[in-house]
């Protein structure tokens, strides 16, 4: 690409120190209009919802936001007019540490196309500062990273196990993403799809995202993740998935999180009103399309772990197994650890593990539960 990237200001330094995403203030106008690459961001009513569980325990150092005090790229010019879908797409493709400068009020950017990480980027940090909503308009996935997609450039001979790009999402609200019909990596990832490299999500909210309504293994209306480097975990902290009856995410399986063979560390987060709506489980029963497990979280594969710490998981549903969590380690080596968390009112219409309401677990031993309530 030659010439300036419209709506993106490049700087001459990059960053490494830590900042927290700010809380949105309450200003706003109705968001309206169809997605267009050049359509400007609009002030938002209501402001982005608060993120995560503020009553959770102290976070470990690696679960805090990345430093964005000296960004490589800034989307916007201090007004909503500079904050466009085109500017977001261009900045993500260019990589580095990216922030937004869309004015003092919360804004919504309706995405006209999916923002895609280019695999030559070592690091991509996308920081909305708690004031930016990326809206898929119910028509498209919002953010995509795939180290095994040649269109995004192969950079190693082992794309399924490479240490870059390292993608951090922080201070953003993803809404109305929809990957229905997209079969990349088995489908799923209505808001965000990631394969390879590393992923971290902090201080972010995911609402009203969708992926395919049926299928035995498709999942992740909010996040679908595959093949993290050396089996290292995805880190999610102080984030919200759903949050109210009108804000829930919906997919065949795992309306919040979904993965195959990937470990997760989830801290001080909230999952509520997410629905796994498939039918027939996995493998699909004869005569059914399959799916319907893991209302909030659906994890499958061989050896992997889920650490759920300081989190609240309530009012999620599954047509089949695991209204809250579906966890199947095929070789029975996987471990589920729940600490300082509350799980309640997560009905499983089909099946769950006795003594663990809302959870279906096949792994090493039994779920490890400490200082938590499961009902």
Give the tens place of pLDDT for each residue, 238-263. Answer: 999 999 999 999 999 999 999 999 99
- pLDDT, residue 45, reads 59
Express each pLDDT in 265-281 by its tens digit: 999 999 999 999 999 99
Structure tokens at 56: 């959770």
Sheet holding 317-318, edge to edge: 250-251, 275-276, 317-318
- pLDDT, residue 240, reads 98
Q: Average pLDDT, stretch 278-285?
A: 97
Express each pLDDT in 91-125 by its tens digit: 999 999 999 999 999 999 999 999 999 999 999 99
Q: Count Cβ atoms below 10 Å from residue 213 Cβ, excluding itself.
A: 18
Q: Count Cβ atoms below 10 Å from residue 211 Cβ, excluding itself.
A: 32
Calpha distance 233→264 (Å, rounded): 5
- pLDDT, residue 24, reads 31
Ramachandran angles phi, psi of 231, nearest 5°? 70, 15
- pLDDT, residue 7, reads 72
Residue 299: which of 324, 319, 317 has the closest Cα? 324
Q: Output DSSP code: residue 48.
A: P
Q: Average pLDDT, stretch 287-310?
A: 98
- Is the peptide bond prior to 165 cis by the omega test (within 30 degrees of 0)? yes
% of the chain beyond a pLDDT of 70? 90
Express each pLDDT in 308-351 by its tens digit: 999 999 999 999 999 999 999 999 999 999 999 999 999 999 99
Calpha distance 208→134 (Å, rounded): 12
Q: Count Cβ atoms below 10 Å from residue 30 Cβ, excluding itself.
A: 10
């Amino acid at each position: 690409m030659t010439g300036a990237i419209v709506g993106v200001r490049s700087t001459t330094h990059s960053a490494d120190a830590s900042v927290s995403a700010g809380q949105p203030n309450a200003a706003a106008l109705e968001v309206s209009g169809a997605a267009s690459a050049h359509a400007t961001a609009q002030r938002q009513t209501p402001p982005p919802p608060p993120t995560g569980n503020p009553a959770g325990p102290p976070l470990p150092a690696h679960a805090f936001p990345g430093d964005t005090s000296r960004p490589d790229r800034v989307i916007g010019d201090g007004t909503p007019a500079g904050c466009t879908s085109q500017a977001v797409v261009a900045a993500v493709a260019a990589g580095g540490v990216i922030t937004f400068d869309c004015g003092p009020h919360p804004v919504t950017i309706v995405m006209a196309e999916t923002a895609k990480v280019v695999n030559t980027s070592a690091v991509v940090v996308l920081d909305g500062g708690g004031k930016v909503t990326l809206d898929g308009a119910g028509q498209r996935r919002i953010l995509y990273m795939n180290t095994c997609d040649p269109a995004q450039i192969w950079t190693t001979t082992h794309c399924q196990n490479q240490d870059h790009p390292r993608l951090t999402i922080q201070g953003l609200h993803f809404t109305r993403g929809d990957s229905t019909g997209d079969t990349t990596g088995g489908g799923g990832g209505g808001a965000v799809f990631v394969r390879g490299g590393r992923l971290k999500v902090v201080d972010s909210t995911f609402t009203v995202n969708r992926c395919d309504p049926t299928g035995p293994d498709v999942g992740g209306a909010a996040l679908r993740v595959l093949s993290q480097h050396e089996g290292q975990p995805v880190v999610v902290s102080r984030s919200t998935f759903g949050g109210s009856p009108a804000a829930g995410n919906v997919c065949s399986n795992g309306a919040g999180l979904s993965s195959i063979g990937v470990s997760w560390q989830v801290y001080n987060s909230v999952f509520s009103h997410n629905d796994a709506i498939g039918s027939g489980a996995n493998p699909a029963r004869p005569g059914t399309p399959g799916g319907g497990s893991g209302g909030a979280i659906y994890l499958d594969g061989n050896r992997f772990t889920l650490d759920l710490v300081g989190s609240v998981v309530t009012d999620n549903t599954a047509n089949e197994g695991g209204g809250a969590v579906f966890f199947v380690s095929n070789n029975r080596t996987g471990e589920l650890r729940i600490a300082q968390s509350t799980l309640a009112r997560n009905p499983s219409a089909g099946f769950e593990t006795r003594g663990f309401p809302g959870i279906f677990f096949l792994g090493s031993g039994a779920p490890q539960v400490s200082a938590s309530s499961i009902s």
